[in-house]
Amino acid sequence: MAAAGAEVGEDKYRSFIHGESERNTVWRYGGPPNYDTVNKLFEEERTHVWAEGSLEEKVQRLLKSWEMELVHKARPEDQKTVSSERYTTSTNGMSALTRAEVMAIGGYNNFLRTKLPPEHRIYDPDSESPESAMDTFKTAFPRGFAIEVLDVYSGPPKIAFKFRHWGYMEGPFKGHPPHGHRVEFIGVCIFHVDEEMKVEKSEYFYERGNFLASFLSAPAADAAPGSGSSGCPVMHGN
Give 100-158 as a 3 state SS string: HHHHHHCHHHHHCCCCCCHHHCCCCHHHCCHHHHHHHHHHHCCCCCEEEEEEEEECCCE
Quote the CA–CA distance of 194 and 114 in Å, as a whole number. Answer: 29
Report yes or no on 224 lying in a domain.
Answer: no
Report yes or no on 78 lying in a domain.
Answer: yes
Report yes or no on 161 lying in a domain.
Answer: yes
Please give the pLDDT value at position 220: 60
pLDDT digits (tens, 9 = 90+) for 11-26: 999 999 999 999 999 9
Report yes or no on 176 lying in a domain.
Answer: yes
Please give the pLDDT value at position 171: 97
Using DSSP's 3-state secondary structure scheme, residue 97 falls into strand
Please give the pLDDT value at position 229: 37
Strands, sheet with 158-168, edge to edge from the N-terminal-most edge strand: 97-98, 88-91, 199-205, 182-193, 158-168, 146-154
Report yes or no on 79 lying in a domain.
Answer: yes
Q: Checking DSSP bridges between strand 199-205 and strand 88-91, what pairing results, if any? A: parallel
Please give the pLDDT value at position 84: 82
107 is in which domain, residue-wise? 26-215
Please give the pLDDT value at position 224: 45
Please give the pLDDT value at position 218: 74
Report yes or no on 238 lying in a domain.
Answer: no
Report yes or no on 2 lying in a domain.
Answer: no
Please give the pLDDT value at position 10: 80
Cα distances (angstroms) measured from residue 139 to each of 35, 147, 214: 16, 18, 15
Kindly give, in sequence order, each residue whose CB lies less than 8 Å from that of residue 134, ignoring residues fewer than 6 positions away.
Answer: 71, 106, 108
The number of domains in the chain is 1
Report yes or no on 118 lying in a domain.
Answer: yes
Kindly report the backbone phi and psi dihedral angles of residue 149, in degrees, each rounded to the nearest multiple of 5, phi listed first: -90, 130
Using DSSP's 3-state secondary structure scheme, residue 69 falls into helix
The CATH number linked to 41 is 3.10.450.50
List of the chain residues with pLDDT < 70 = 1-9, 220-238
Burial 168-186 (b: 16+ CB within 10 A, else e): bbbbebeeeebbbbbbbbb
Q: Find, among 216, 234, 226, 225, the residue nearest to 92 by Cα.
A: 234
